[in-house]
Structure 1
Amino acid sequence: MCGIVGLHLRNPALAPRLGELLTGMLCEMQDRGADSAGIAVYGDPRWSPAGHVTVSFVPDASCVELTSGLAAEAVAGALATAYGADVAVVDAGPTLVAHVPGGDAELDRLRGAVKEAFPEALVAGFGADVAVLKGVGHPRDLAEAYGLPAAQGWQGVGHTRMATESAVTPGGCHPYAVGPDQCLVHNGSFSNHASIRRDLVAAGAEFDSMNDTEVGARFVADRLAAGYTVETALKELLTTFDGFYTLLVADGDSFAVVRDAIACKPAVIAEHDDWVAMASEYRALVGLPGIAEARIYEPEPERIYAWTR
């Protein structure tokens, strides 16, 4: 079944409340999936400070605990050895968030250092603006373990999972964030994911799970790397993927929603002068400030709804 939530802030004055609002939204969707939960947060100054690049990772991809079991100081030391300079590490429950000053070159070095120091690690997300936190367990427990209520920023995307396509591990948990500052969450099932996976592997893609959602995420990332916008990438996804699905896709500047032609997977959008929000069910939106004044509607089949920062 699964539950999706997303919040894109238009009013910067709400940035200090992003994590609080996302926590309420995510926990309202716990009945739709209590196997695992994940969240992508854009712009938090602790996880992804300005002028830094960030890699979010679970040191052991098989971890099913609410903590990594590792001290952040020890992890920072191991990463500094592999990276060749100091690395800051923030403990976010089962996920650790490492960041260093710099740009794309340093981001590639830091991702390499994570894999060198922790060969069994799952890289959950990376970029200049995003922290991606993944874990196995009840969404409310995970939100607390992440420290989500205290998060700040301009945008967040979350997911509660009821596993149908792959194992209940961090690797099967959404969001899938396989390109820089990109993430995708999905409610539904892609019926032709195996053939698309083969094409992507033949083109050089590497996968972390057998989850059908990861195929969609890597397809979108491939198109974005080729110069597509989020909207044009999703238009091609609509013509390539079969199945039933509602998708929420985000990057550092945009936030987009799309449903398949049948649109049997639930979705609701609310637009307010201060924010745009999306969820699988309206109850996830009722705690947002000004919800009574928001324009609320169900997204139409095969129509792409997108907002830019």
Structure 2
Amino acid sequence: MCGIVGLHLKSPKYQDLLGCLLGPMLGCMETRGSDSAGLAIYEEPVPEGYFRYSVRLDGVDSTEEVKSVVAALVDELSDDLATTVTCERVRPDGAVLVAPESMTDVTSCLAARRPDATVVAFGRHIEVVKDVGTPQEICHRHEINNRTGFQGIGHTRMATESAVTTDHSHPFAPYPDLALVHNGSFSNHATVRRWLAKEGIGCVTDNDSEVAARLVGRALSAGASLEAALQDMGNEMDGFYTLLVATGSEFAVMRDSFACKPLVVAETDDYVAVTSEYIAMTSLPGIGAATVYEPMPGEIHVWGR
């Protein structure tokens, strides 16, 4: 059992309050799982030709050490890539770096300089925060209440099939500006993982949700719409699931054909909110006047900017 939450803002009205609204929603879902938690937050894009890279640095203990390591890393990567790399944000676990959109070059240079560094997410809009611990601990540690943006998704996990580690926690973000969170389980993920590997698409973990994320990313990379990518994923994977997926321009939910995993949607003129349980929405402004419903079995709903 896991909990998922999401907030897609239709207008700028609440963009400065995104973190203040999203954090409590995720904290409310702690009873659905407290092994680990994470969020993907979407902001206005960095300049064309560049990506935001959410970089985790393992083995760095203090805030001052993180700052020192990040400052050195920015200079080193700028030299290695022969361009300007900047730090948008220093985080307790690393940093958000702005660097050229050539993911392969950036990760190669990063691995050479810091073998303990992991790129958790990348894209013009996205930042991903995830860690082992409760949602409230993680939101407090990363000061989520201070975050702004136009949409975000979150997940709190009760591990059932794979290890409790930061890598295994959600969201999974294996392609530019894509993030996926999942409540449920896929029964054939090992089979799909093997044929993805034959195509040269490797997984970092043995988590079933990562396989779904990579399938969606594979379809998006081939030019599919988000809705078509989710349909493709549903055709390939078996199980009981509710998915919440975001890109730099869209926000979508999907339920399997049995719809045994809960999902509630609330929509107003200002936002679309998604949670596993209605109680997580009750702190949102204007929720009393929202149109509230549960997507039907097999349905996919997509909202765009």
Band of TM-score, shorter chain: over 0.9
1:255 aligns to what SS in structure 2? Answer: strand
Match of 2:54 among 39, 56, 81: 56
* C-alpha distance in structure 1 between counterparts of 2:94 and 2:254, whole Å: 28
Aligned residue number for residue 174 of structure 1: 170
Alignment of 1:194-205 (within 5 A): 194-205=190-201
* TM-aligned CA deviation for residue 260 of structure 1: 0.8
The residue type equivalent to 1:58 in the other structure is: R
2:224 aligns to what SS in structure 1? Answer: coil
Aligned residue number for residue 260 of structure 2: 264
Structure 1 alignment gaps of length 5 or more: none
Alignment of 1:112-123 (within 5 A): 112-123=108-119
* C-alpha distance in structure 2 between counterparts of 1:282 and 1:212, whole Å: 26
Query: Structure 1 residues 284, 119: closer, same or farther in 2, change over 3 A?
Result: same
1:173 aligns to what SS in structure 2? Answer: coil
Match of 1:139 among 131, 135, 138: 135
* C-alpha distance in structure 1 between counterparts of 2:38 and 2:164, whole Å: 12
Equivalent residues of 1:3, 1:32 under 8 A apart:
yes
* TM-aligned CA deviation for residue 30 of structure 1: 1.3
CA offsets per residue over residues 182-225 of structure 1, 9 Å max, x none? 01000010000000001100000121111110000000000110
Alignment of 1:26-37 (within 5 A): 26-37=26-37
* TM-aligned CA deviation for residue 115 of structure 1: 2.5
CA offsets per residue over residues 87-117 of structure 1, 9 Å max, x none? 22322222421113x5x34x54333332222
Query: Structure 1 residues 204, 30: closer, same or farther in 2, change over 3 A?
Result: same
* C-alpha distance in structure 2 between counterparts of 1:244 and 1:79, whole Å: 43
Structure 2 alignment gaps of length 5 or more: none
The residue type equivalent to 1:93 in the other structure is: P
Aligned residue number for residue 74 of structure 2: 76
Match of 1:284 among 254, 265, 280: 280
The residue type equivalent to 2:3 in the other structure is: G
* C-alpha distance in structure 2 between counterparts of 1:291 and 1:32, whole Å: 22
Equivalent residues of 1:68, 1:93 under 8 A apart:
no
Aligned residue number for residue 38 of structure 1: 38
2:214 aligns to what SS in structure 1? Answer: helix
Alignment of 1:8-23 (within 5 A): 8-23=8-23
Equivalent residues of 1:197, 1:215 under 8 A apart:
yes
Aligned residue number for residue 97 of structure 1: 96
Alignment of 1:194-273 (within 5 A): 194-273=190-269
2:272 aligns to what SS in structure 1? Answer: strand
Equivalent residues of 2:55, 2:95 under 8 A apart:
yes
What TM-score do you get using the length of structure 2 for normalisation?
0.92
* C-alpha distance in structure 1 between counterparts of 2:72 and 2:35, whole Å: 29
What TM-score do you get using the length of structure 1 for normalisation?
0.91
* C-alpha distance in structure 2 between counterparts of 1:207 and 1:116, whole Å: 21
Aligned residue number for residue 88 of structure 1: 86
Equivalent residues of 2:60, 2:66 under 8 A apart:
no
The residue type equivalent to 1:179 in the other structure is: Y
Task: Tell me how many residue pairs correspond in the alignment.
Answer: 301
Equivalent residues of 2:181, 2:243 under 8 A apart:
yes
Aligned residue number for residue 7 of structure 1: 7
1:200 aligns to what SS in structure 2? Answer: helix
- RMSD (CA atoms): 2.1
Equivalent residues of 2:37, 2:157 under 8 A apart:
yes
* TM-aligned CA deviation for residue 79 of structure 1: 3.4
12-21 or 84-93: which moved more? 84-93
Q: Percent identity?
A: 44
1:142 aligns to what SS in structure 2? Answer: helix
Aligned residue number for residue 300 of structure 2: 304
* C-alpha distance in structure 1 between counterparts of 2:131 and 2:161, whole Å: 17
Equivalent residues of 2:66, 2:94 under 8 A apart:
no
